[in-house]
């Protein structure tokens, strides 16, 4: 459909919890297509709607050749933990080791409103957890230990993109129950 600008760290929408999708309509399908096109163009392992300025609980992923999306995700995380490098399209060129569950079972819906269950481990589990965090207003740097977070913030402040003017927030056509900007 369309490649859209990705919101960068500092944009307030990245810190707001997204609202549940209630209308599985053409607008949602267009959003999923835009998320997918933008993610693949970036390229990235995942992209959440708030990163495009839309405060809805939907994300896409592209891991090891598998491309998918999930609406209104609910996660069951494993007790086993993995540590590994993680980055974010909203924090360009920033990569730090981040602790995540080793595997995940994610339940939600596809863009047509059909129930979906996605099971993944390692990189897919990391991507699903990362994108679901975006839907809760959480960035991966929030999950870093204090020393790494301090180093990440220093790197962000020194980056060329930090503080650049952000595009205007798109108003969602879906009912946001006061949660939109």
Q: Which member of 122, 131, 147, 165 is catalytic?
A: 131
Secondary structure element (H or E) that encloses residue 118, with its range: strand 115-121
- CB contact set of 130 (below 8 Å; sequence gap of 6+): 45, 46, 86, 88, 100, 140
Name the one residue in this structure whose structure tokens are 């810190």.
Answer: 15
Q: What is the Cα–Cα distance from 133 to 59, expressed in whole angstroms?
A: 10
Q: Nearest 5°: phi and psi at 143? A: -95, 0
Residue whose C-alpha is closest to residue 99's, from 86, 118, 110, 116: 86
Q: 131 an active-site residue? A: yes
Question: What is residue 130's three-state secondary structure?
Answer: helix
Say if strands 66-77 and 115-121 run parallel, antiparallel, or are unpaired: unpaired
Q: Catalytic positions, please?
A: 131
């Amino acid at each position: 459909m369309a490649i859209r600008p990705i919101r960068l760290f500092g944009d307030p929408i990245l810190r707001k919890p997204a609202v549940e999708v209630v209308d599985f309509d053409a607008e949602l399908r267009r959003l999923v297509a835009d998320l997918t096109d933008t993610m693949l163009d970036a390229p990235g392992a995942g992209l959440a709607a708030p990163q495009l300025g839309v405060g809805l609980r939907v994300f896409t992923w592209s891991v090891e050749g598998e491309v998918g999306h999930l609406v209104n995700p609910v996660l069951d995380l494993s007790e086993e933990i993995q540590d590994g490098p993680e980055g974010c399209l909203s924090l360009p060129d920033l990569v730090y080791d981040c602790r995540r569950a080793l595997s995940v079972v994610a339940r939600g819906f596809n863009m047509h409103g059909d129930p979906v269950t996605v099971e993944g481990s390692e990189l897919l589990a990391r991507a699903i957890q990362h994108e679901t965090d975006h839907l809760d207003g959480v960035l991966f740097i929030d999950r870093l230990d204090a020393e790494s977070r301090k180093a990440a913030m220093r790197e962000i402040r020194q980056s060329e993109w930090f503080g650049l003017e952000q595009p205007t927030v798109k108003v969602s056509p879906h009912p946001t129950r006061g949660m939109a900007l």
